[in-house]
């Protein structure tokens, strides 16, 4: 099968997957009821002109895409086929992509994210992506914070009813008409890019995400649900 110059079969497939998934994901998201805690942390950073570096687990990409849609967030996505169709799907929700990962094109993507932050655009990292292990943060987000002076803003999402994908990240897909909780933590800075400091902040990021998971569980139980 022949394609236009510069158009690969992989790109055609990725575009088709994104086009088919978009109306389904959008319709699914419209059925969810959100419980939100900590949104003021994001609003405060954006209002200063110093947008944050969002940090989440890879397994929460789908609900995160629905929550952060339409804000011009620039997300780091891998250069493999999954990263291609995910980037195209996210673009339909108002995201832009910096293509790269810890194994392919990561340095180039980090350079792009530095430019995007300087231009006033929020960036986003799935901190255990693109290959895992799940729940173990890589250093990309904290390095970017140390290199730019922008703060890391961790968040987590849980749902009361959901499916789990059979992928390495056990991706969560909230079921129709489920309640979805997002807990956005306090931002934190990184004072440089020295090796030992990055490791300390990487561990701190994991600890903060664990606390936010417990906060989501509390929100789903109806404990001190926030209105912001």
CATH at 143: 3.40.1130
pLDDT of 98 reads 86
* Closest among 148, 79, 80, 142 to 108, alpha carbons compared: 79
Into how many domains does the chain fold? 1
pLDDT of 104 reads 53
Q: Is residue 114 part of a domain?
A: yes
Q: Are 216 and 181 in contact, with CB atoms under 8 Å apart?
A: yes
pLDDT of 72 reads 94
pLDDT of 92 reads 96
Q: Is residue 228 part of a domain?
A: no
* Closest among 185, 215, 160 to 33, alpha carbons compared: 160
Query: In whole angstroms, what is the distance from residue 52 CA to residue 128 CA?
Result: 18
> Which structural domain range is residue 54 located in?
9-220
Q: Is residue 146 part of a domain?
A: yes
pTM: 0.90
Q: Is residue 3 part of a domain?
A: no
pLDDT of 116 reads 94
Q: Is residue 202 part of a domain?
A: yes
Q: Is residue 147 part of a domain?
A: yes
Query: Does the CA dihedral 8-12-17-23 come out positive or negative?
Result: positive
* Closest among 121, 130, 115 to 94, alpha carbons compared: 121
Q: Is residue 123 part of a domain?
A: yes
Coil vs helix vs strand at 134: coil
Low-confidence residues of the chain: pLDDT under 70: 1-7, 9, 100-106, 224-228
């Amino acid at each position: 099968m022949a394609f236009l110059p510069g158009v690969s079969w992989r790109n055609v497939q990725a575009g088709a997957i994104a086009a088919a998934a978009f109306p389904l994901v959008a319709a699914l998201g419209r059925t969810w009821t959100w419980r939100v805690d900590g949104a003021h942390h994001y609003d405060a950073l954006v209002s200063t002109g110093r947008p944050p570096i969002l940090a989440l687990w890879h397994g929460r990409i789908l609900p995160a895409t629905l929550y952060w849609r339409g804000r011009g967030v620039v997300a780091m996505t891998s250069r493999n086929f999954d990263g291609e169709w995910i980037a195209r799907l996210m673009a339909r929700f108002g995201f832009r992509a910096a293509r790269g990962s810890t194994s392919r094109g990561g340095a180039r993507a980090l350079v792009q994210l530095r430019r995007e932050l300087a231009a006033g655009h929020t960036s986003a990292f799935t901190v255990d992506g693109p290959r895992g292990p799940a729940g173990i943060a890589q250093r990309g987000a904290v390095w970017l914070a140390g290199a730019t002076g922008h703060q890391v803003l961790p968040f987590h999402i849980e749902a009361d009813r959901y499916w789990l994908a059979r992928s390495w990240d056990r991706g969560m897909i909230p079921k129709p008409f489920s309640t979805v909780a997002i807990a956005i933590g306090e931002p934190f800075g990184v004072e440089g890019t020295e090796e030992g400091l990055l490791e300390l902040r990487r561990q701190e990021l994991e600890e903060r995400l664990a606390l936010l998971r417990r906060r989501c569980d509390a929100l789903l139980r109806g404990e001190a649900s926030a209105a912001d």
